[in-house]
Amino acid sequence: MRNFLAVTASILSLSLFGCSNAPAEQAPAEPTPETTEQTQSLYPTGSGCQYDSECGSGLCWREADSYPLYNPYWIRASACTEECGEDDHQACRDLAASLNAPSPNTARCIPARGVYDDYPYDDIFYVCDMVAAGLGHVAWVE
């Protein structure tokens, strides 16, 4: 009987102090938000643009960059593009074809003056003319 009383007293004391064998109730865990891959919304090559930072290629060509070949008095144009070798028209044609341009064979490598936004000098670079291939943004000046 003594054991019975000792066991009963132990159980009562443990239950009074909250030390039971049952798992303690826990506050429901807050759901963790799913981590999704963040992507920058950069325009692909061949899209119209205003700034280099908008283009996935990091290069936004505008018609004034290639004056007098493109005259801003008769056309407003822009395109995310890529650099090319001075006479490497085939690389630009291949690029235009990979972008499903309407006229990939008319793509060409053209000179562009001071084309990079963050480049302080007025040097000549050579870029792929995506406008000639039918890509980019074009607005005719009236």
> How many CB atoms sit inside 10 A of residue 8's CB?
10
Rg (CA), the chain: 34
As a whole number of angstroms, the distance between CA 140 and CA 91 comes to 27
Output the CA torsion sign for 94, 48, 129, 42: negative
* pLDDT per residue rounded down to tens, the chain (142 residues): 445 445 455 554 545 455 445 555 565 555 555 544 444 579 999 999 999 999 999 999 999 999 999 999 999 999 999 999 999 999 999 999 999 999 999 999 999 998 899 888 889 999 999 999 999 999 988 7
As a whole number of angstroms, the distance between CA 116 and CA 14 comes to 75
Residue type, 7: V
